Structure 1
Amino acid sequence: MRIPLVYSEEVAEAITAGQPVVALPSSVLRSGPDDAETARLTEDAVRVSGSVPATIGVDKGRILVGLSESDFERFACTPGVPQAGARDLPVALARGATAATTASSSLVAAGLAGLRFLCSAETGDLVRLAAHRVAVVCAETPDLDLLESQGVPLACCDDPVLVARAIETHWALGHPGSFVVTAPVPPAVDSAGTTKATRAVRVGTAEVAGGLAAAHAKEYPS
């Protein structure tokens, strides 16, 4: 059985052209129109370095790899859109449901879609790191015991070229799983209000992820 994957036009063109693509969870859209704007700013931050964002969603038994503007509005404005983590994904797909994705389900989707990078501000449900060859850029450090138990490396993105080489070396050594990268959070975030701070963290992390994906694509063109 193959899981149906529907690529947005922008993402499909990027993959064909060999451009770097960064997957993003869609769970932020469940909070309403204001957070839909945060999601748009996050996508724009990925584009700063020439990478292409692919916000992941679930709809009618399919995984959407890249959401359209109408998808953004629908996910943000429809009351009661559920959130599906990795463990919820099989049931959501089997039911033909519409669901926003968390970090873990986006990781699964990115692996299925052949995407090498995932950006997620939160890491709370990242429990499938050993199963998918996807580099995860996040704002917070995941549980270190979890990373060690799964053999997943951790690095700070101080030097994107060096980290890109480390990621590729990890996979070249035969490791099947993820590589976790933490993004430095801008100092201004610490003194900002909660909503503003959350948006700044998401946007800042996305910009780091886009830059890392672009550096990887330059070092290892497809």
Structure 2
Amino acid sequence: MSRHPDLDLTPEVARALEAGQPVVALETAIVTHGMPRPVNLETAQAVEAEIRAQGAVPATIAVIDGRLRAGVTAEELEMLAAIPEGVQKASRKDLPAIIAKRATAGTTVAATMFIADLAGIPIFATGGIGGVHRGAETTGDVSADLTELGRTPVGVVCAGAKSILDLPRTLEWLETAGVPVLGYRSDAFPAFFTPDSGLGVDQRMDSPAEIATALAAGRRLGNGGTLICNPIAEADALPKDQIDAVIAQAVADAAAQGIEGKAVTPFLLGKVLDLTGGDSLNANVALVRSNARLAAEIAVALASQ
């Protein structure tokens, strides 16, 4: 397979893809912008270990010195987690300018999906996707993650959309874009910190092999991405009433301070972390690790088809 001129693979990832072995893509915006130090590095390392334990190869996605990367070294991961000055948060639209400036960036869901597809990696694990923001009927604020899911044929394992978002409108957007929303052993669309938002998924899937079969069929049919919802375990979840109240307070604070655009999500997540006394971070770490395990199991099933 010829390699894209802007893309570099680590030797391990290149060998695995060449041999048809299971590979799972991982984002880095969660490392550079989504979690505080040192939890960001500890989580990134634990997630890679979860994937290896299931017999798959992790391919952590980033942009380093203007090169798209599928796989990073341990030293590069430590550098990204240190959040040095100048490390950007890159969505797909940001990649050309970052390449031109030979800059370094953590990749969002949208950018990670795009780079994973360039590398030939069909499955990706994250925490939660972006979506339609609350108040989008007046602001028009809709995450590029949704657009990417509509056009890029990568399966995304997540705990639903971030609960700070407008979940009903997010699901409507996904339906319009033709994105299948699958629930792993659940009929409910999860709300990140809680396993049930009160909304439903398109189809329940009861095994990684069944999900892998659906992903392979989607590729044959020329579909875009597939959203695979893996609800947070009850033992790790936050009480729904508590998190709903916390998010309402965080949204009100953002509006009062005039927080807009790209700054909204990190502000809200930071506020939620403060208001839950750190419980939201513990839940985030647990669900990311769970999603990585499921993604690896799907990757193994895909490789055996």
Fold shared per TM-score above 0.5: yes
Match of 1:83 among 79, 89, 98: 89
State which drifts further: 187-196 or 87-96.
187-196
What residue in structure 2 maps to residue 27 of structure 1? Answer: 29
Contact 1:3 1:62 in 2 (8 A): no
The C-alpha deviation readout for 1:32-83, integer Å capped at 9, x for no partner, is 3321110111111122221111110101221111111010111112423211
What residue in structure 1 maps to residue 231 of structure 2? Answer: 184
SS of the residue aligned with 1:70? Answer: helix
Match of 1:144 among 156, 160, 171: 171
Alignment of 1:107-186 (within 5 A): 107-124=113-130, 125=143, 126=145, 127-141=147-161, 143-157=170-184, 158-175=206-223, 177-186=224-233
Q: Could you tell me which runs of 5 or more consecutive residues in structure 1 were left unpaired when the two chains were aligned.
A: none
Contact 1:28 1:36 in 2 (8 A): no
SS of the residue aligned with 2:58? Answer: strand
Distance 2:89 2:37 in 1: 13
Contact 2:17 2:120 in 1 (8 A): no
Percent of aligned pairs with the same amino acid: 35
**Structure 1's 78 and 169: CA in aligned 2 closer, same or farther, altered over 3 A?**
closer
What residue in structure 1 maps to residue 164 of structure 2? Answer: none
Contact 2:65 2:102 in 1 (8 A): yes
Distance 1:14 1:47 in 2: 12
Distance 2:107 2:63 in 1: 7
What residue in structure 2 maps to residue 197 of structure 1? Answer: 283
Match of 2:10 among 2, 8, 11: 8
Alignment of 1:55-94 (within 5 A): 55-80=60-85, 81-94=87-100
Q: Does residue 53 of the first structure (1) align with residue 101 of the second (2)?
A: no
What residue in structure 2 maps to residue 214 of structure 1? Answer: 300
Contact 1:57 1:101 in 2 (8 A): yes
Task: Please report how far the alpha carbon of residue 130 of structure 1 lies from its aligned counterpart in structure 2 after TM superposition.
Answer: 2.2
SS of the residue aligned with 1:109? Answer: helix
Q: Could you tell me which runs of 5 or more consecutive residues in structure 2 were left unpaired when the two chains were aligned.
A: 131-142, 162-166, 185-205, 239-277
Task: Please report how far the alpha carbon of residue 155 of structure 1 lies from its aligned counterpart in structure 2 after TM superposition.
Answer: 0.8
Q: Which of 1 and 2 has higher RCO (CA within 8 Å, sep 6+)?
A: 1
What residue in structure 1 maps to residue 19 of structure 2? Answer: 17
Task: Please report how far the alpha carbon of residue 174 of structure 1 lies from its aligned counterpart in structure 2 after TM superposition.
Answer: 2.9
What is the alpha-carbon root mean square deviation over aligned residues?
A: 1.7
Contact 2:59 2:70 in 1 (8 A): yes
- Specify the code of the residue in structure 2 equivalent to 1:137: V
- Specify the code of the residue in structure 1 equivalent to 2:8: V
Q: Does residue 101 of the first structure (1) align with residue 149 of the second (2)?
A: no
Length-normalised TM-score, structure 1: 0.91
